[in-house]
Amino acid sequence: MAKILIPTPLRPYTDKQDAVDATGATVGELLADLTRRHSGLKAHLYNDQGKLRSFVNVYVNDEDIRYLQKEQTPVNASDTVSIIPSVAGGVDTVEDVRSVRLPSSHEASADLGRLGEPLTNDEVKRYSRHLIMPEVGVEGQRKLKASKVLCIGAGGLGSPVAMYLAAAGVGTLGIVDFDTVDFSNLQRQILHGTPDVGRPKLQSAKEKLHALNPEIDIQTYEVALSSQNALKLFEPYDVIVDGTDNFPTRYLVNDACVLLGKPNAYGSIFRFEGQASVFGTKDGPCYRCLYPEPPPPGLVPSCAEGGVLGVLPGLIGVIQATEAVKLIMGIGEPLIGRFLIYDALRMRFRELKLRKDPDCPVCGTHPTVTTLIDYEQFCGITPAAPEPVTVNRATEITAVELKQRLDRGDALKIVDVREPNEYQINRIPGSELIPLGDVPKRYGELNPDDEIVVHCKMGGRSAKAADFLRSVGFKRVLNLKGGILDWIDKVDPTQPKY
Amino acid sequence: MTSDRRLSLDASAEQAIRRHGEETYPHECCGALIGNGDRVTDLVPLPNTTEEGPRRRFLVRPSDYRLAERRAAELGSQLLGFYHSHPDHPARPSQYDLDHAWPTFAYVIVAVASGKAESMTVWFLKDDRSIFEEGSLHHGENSHPDTAQTVHG
């Protein structure tokens, strides 16, 4: 026997009593006895399948049985069981009928849905697999035709984004990039092929996309995106797709999208992990709601330093392209207010709920950022001033100087602070491998009286190693300027670069 | 279908519901109706805790429901029902409202179009849960003790 507290709306079924007794060893038995005694309750507590309705909450003392053993939760005579209604409601939409749940910010995409020119016969053929789906249809295809999407970057993410958007029939596709194709890009940047190495990325991108779909207009902008040009570049476009690989540009794209009220289909990749979301919609959060401040420079390595699984940008870029297409057509449930995290090694997706931060400096209720700022400075990156050679003479050595001194027979200890897998790709003959992370526990293996040259891939990690060694009493530590890449360029071109 | 049930809201309560709906627009607002018989004497505005998009949904969590019941008991009154807004939608209950409705409660719905509160209606769940029936909403100060009995009818 236990006491059950009855909420107001159910009291008509318990002879107006606000508490009734029932018998049973578990919550389930207790409720069964309750509905036997007061049969009018049954329809309100249970659904047609005999399951407790989702908006019926049952508490044992102060605990929701969902977090105990549900209906198997044991009860004894001293327990108080409460039935507590969840009161819920809302408006119907067409989507309810199809049981597609749309979040609140869906309306943000509504004004994207301009109808373009009627489709030509060739276009009907080309897009027939779209047209036969009622969710897309001729109307959706014409919205794509009228739409303008700007891709920031024609690299790992920009490649699949631009290819799928071009194939899908986005009428105007803009691409911003100022890089040239490098061999190290080919492992993932599928817009570019081996014959394109050395060419501007925009050239090879335009050719590939034009071959894929000659019906669309491809606009290329061979500039570095900056606070001076971003607003002007973004202005004619409906959706911006952020495929950048660095924090200053990421914050710049975010802020420009918020200021212009344009959705930002965001994606980023690092090693085996990718992220995606849609920022910058009217009611949705922005990148700064998630990360108000950039990480300290150097804390989060870039793909060039940390590496990236080649197929990873394929998946994340396709998610960005999917979101762009959905926003344009106004269908489905956009990735607004949700932050998707993908782990390629474990093959898992996680989703974090993101809320718009009312105190967000750019999209909050009282924004402090109302124009584009200096993002390099914001991210703690100061442009490298031409440094007087003399300043670094004592702490740095160039590849050519190192070669000359080795040839002279100087006793130099060369310490490579890269990771073992990098050491397998290329190395300076005679160097010893002590990865940066191991230096603090292994520096005892080095003789503080030796003259030591530290190096890494480009000079960043080895500068930290050199600082550390000096701090523990090493007097003669030189950092190889430009790392092994400079060594290969200037001294030993037979070795591969990465 | 109409119900013979009625709810009486005085001018200040009605204004407060409209204002609440306008303040939370484009999101749904919600709150509890407290009073005696069919007459609302107090409102308890509650946070909309839905995680499904507050433009189209509202949810009163169990702790707030308890708060409303407690408040009613403190006032020596009853919890009569809940109000909520339909931003840019008519003041008619949805299938979703029906699926989640409780018997005997009055459900007041205010339509808020482009940020401006418009029509207001009241609904009661039919005992077999099949449908909502529209009740009559009375404005002004007068209560009608003779019709109070129909609340649990």
CB-CB neighbors (< 8 A) of A84 in chain B = 62, 65-66
Answer left, alpha or beta for residue B99, where phi above 0 means left and psi between -120 and 50 means alpha: alpha
Yes or no: say if B7 and B122 are a contact pair by the CB < 8 Å rule.
yes
Instruction: Report the residue from A13, A90, A103 with minimal CB separation from B58.
Output: A90
Kindly list the residues from chain A whose CB atom is less than 8 angstroms away from the CB atom of residue B30: 87, 89
Read off the tokens for A379.
Answer: 């991210």
- Phi and psi based region of residue B114 (left: phi greater than 0; alpha: psi -120 to 50; beta: remaining): left
With beta carbons less than 8 A apart as the criterion, state whether A159 and A131 touch.
no
In whole angstroms, what separates CA A249 from the centre of its chain?
A: 14
For residue B143, give Cα distances in angstroms to A443, A462, B73. Answer: 88, 83, 20
Q: What angle do CA A389, A391, A392 make, to 5 degrees?
A: 75
Which residues have a Cβ under 8 Å from the Cβ of B72 and sit 6 or more positions away? A8, B32, B34, B78, B79
Could you tell me which chain A residue has the CA closest to the CA of B108?
Answer: A89
**Averaged pLDDT for residues A277-286:** 92
Q: In angstroms, how far is CA A397 from the centroid of its own chain? A: 39
pLDDT in tens, A314-357: 999 999 999 999 999 999 999 999 999 899 999 999 888 888 88
Residue A304 to residue A311: CA distance in whole angstroms: 16
Q: Does B36 touch chain A (CB under 8 A)?
A: no
Does the distance separating the beta carbons of A88 and B60 come in below 8 Å?
yes
Q: Range with the lowest mean pLDDT among A90-104, A213-227, A455-469?
A: A90-104
The phi, psi pair for A400, rounded to 5°, reads -65, -45
Distance CA A311, CA A301 (A): 19
Which residues face A355 on adjacent strands?
Answer: none
Q: Does B58 touch chain A (CB under 8 A)?
A: yes
Candidate from A10, A59, A102 with C-beta closest to B53: A102
Give B82's contacts (C-beta < 8 A, 6+ positions apart): A87, B30, B31, B32, B33, B60, B105, B106, B107, B108
Please, which residues 69-88 of chain B have a Cβ atom closer than 8 Å to chain A? 69, 72, 78-79, 82, 84, 86-87
Q: Would you call B113 an interface residue with chain A, using a CB distance cutoff of 8 Å?
A: no
Strand A477-480 with A451-455, pairing: parallel
Q: Which residues of A touch B102 (CB under 8 A)?
A: 7, 9-10, 44, 85, 87
The residue that leads in pLDDT, A294 or A99, is A294
Nearest C-alpha neighbor of A89 from the set B1, B76, B84: B84
Q: Which helix (H) or strand (E) holds B122?
A: strand B116-125
Question: What are the helix (H) ranges across A213-359?
Answer: 230-234, 247-260, 287-290, 303-306, 312-329
Between chains, do B62 and A105 touch, taking CB under 8 Å as contact?
no
pLDDT mean across residues, chain A: 87
Cβ–Cβ gap A104/B56 under 8 Å: yes
- Check if B61 contacts A (Cβ < 8 Å): yes
Band of pLDDT at residue A154, cut at 50, 70 and 90 = very high
Cα separation, A346 vs A7, in Å, equals: 47
Q: What is the pLDDT of residue B49?
A: 81
- B126 to chain A, any CB pair closer than 8 A? The answer is no
- Please confirm, yes or no, whether A303 is among the known catalytic residues: yes
| Shortest CA gap A36–chain B (Å) | 18
Q: Alpha carbon A27 to chain centroid distance?
A: 44
Choice among A151, A257, A286, A303 that is catalytic:
A303
Q: What averages of pLDDT result for each successive group of 10 residues across chain B (153 residues)?
A: 82 91 90 93 88 78 88 92 89 81 91 90 87 84 39 27
> Does residue A413 contact residue A447 with C-beta atoms inside 8 Å?
yes
Q: Which of A416, A409, A497 is nearest to A453 (CA)?
A: A416
Would you call B107 an interface residue with chain A, using a CB distance cutoff of 8 Å? Answer: yes
Q: Is the pLDDT of residue A97 over 80?
A: no
- Contact criterion met (CB < 8 Å) for B94 and A96: yes
- Which whole-number Å values give the CA distances from A377 to A232, A371, A383, in the listed order? 22, 15, 8
Give CA–CA dist A370/A384, Å, rounded: 28
Tokens 């293996």 correspond to A445
Q: How confident is the model at residue A105 (pLDDT cuts 50, 70, 90)?
A: very low
Report which residue type is found at A232.
K
Which backbone phi and psi does A284 adopt, to 5 degrees? -90, 165
Scanning chain B, the segments in alpha helix (DSSP H) are: 11-24, 62-74, 95-99
Task: Please state the ipTM of this predicted complex.
Answer: 0.77
Closest alpha carbon within chain B to A58: B62
Chain B neighbors of A7, CB-CB under 8 A: 65, 69, 102
Tell whether the model's pLDDT for residue A170 goes beyond 90: yes
Q: For A134-143, A168-177, A434-443, which range has the lowest pLDDT when averaged over its residues?
A: A434-443
Round to whole Å and give the CA distance between A39 and A100: 35
Which residue has 């071959």 as its token pair?
Answer: A211
Nearest CA in chain A to B98: A89
- Provide the pLDDT for residue A99: 26
A1 pLDDT above the threshold of 50: yes
Between CA B60 and CA B75 the distance in angstroms is: 21
- Predicted confidence at residue A111, as pLDDT, reads 47
Cis amide linkage into residue B26, ω under 30° from 0: yes
CB contact under 8 A, B61 and A86: yes
Residue (of A174, A132, A124) closest to A153 by Cα position = A174
Do A263 and A247 meet the contact criterion of CB atoms below 8 Å apart? no
Distance set, CA B92 to CA A304, B111, B123, B131 (Å): 58, 8, 8, 12
pLDDT in tens, A205-217: 999 999 999 999 9
Report the C-alpha gap between A394 and A485 in whole angstroms.
21
Q: Tell me if chain A has a CB within 8 Å of the CB of B96.
A: yes
Return the pLDDT at A299: 60
**Hey, of A5, A6, A8, which one would you mutate to test binding to chain B, going by the most B CBs within 10 A of its CB?**
A8
B89 DSSP 8-state letter:
S
Secondary structure (3-state) at A399: helix
pLDDT in tens, A63-86: 888 888 888 999 988 888 998 887
Query: How much is the pLDDT for A280?
Result: 93
The tokens for B134 are: 């529209």
**Selected residue with higher pLDDT from A253 and A108:** A253
Tens-digit pLDDT profile for residues A404-448: 999 998 889 999 999 888 899 999 999 999 998 888 888 888 988
Q: What is the H or E stretch that residue A241 is in?
A: strand A239-242
Over the range A335-365, which residues count as b (16 or more CB within 10 Å of their CB) and which as e?
bbbbbbebebeeeeeeeeebebbeebbbbbe
| Residue A382: per-residue pLDDT | 59
The burial of A466, by beta-carbon neighbours within 10 Å (0-12 exposed, 13-18 middle, 19 or more buried), is given as: buried
Whether A286 is catalytic: no
Q: How far is CA A343 from CA A64, A271, A274, in A?
A: 33, 10, 7
Mutate: best of A5, A91, A107, partner B, most B CBs <10 A: A91
Which residue of B23, B100, B126, B149 to mutate against A (max A Cβ within 10 Å)? B100
Q: Any alpha helices (H) in A6-116, and if so which ranges?
A: 27-37, 42-45, 94-97
**Quick check: A440 and A434 in contact, CB under 8 A?**
no
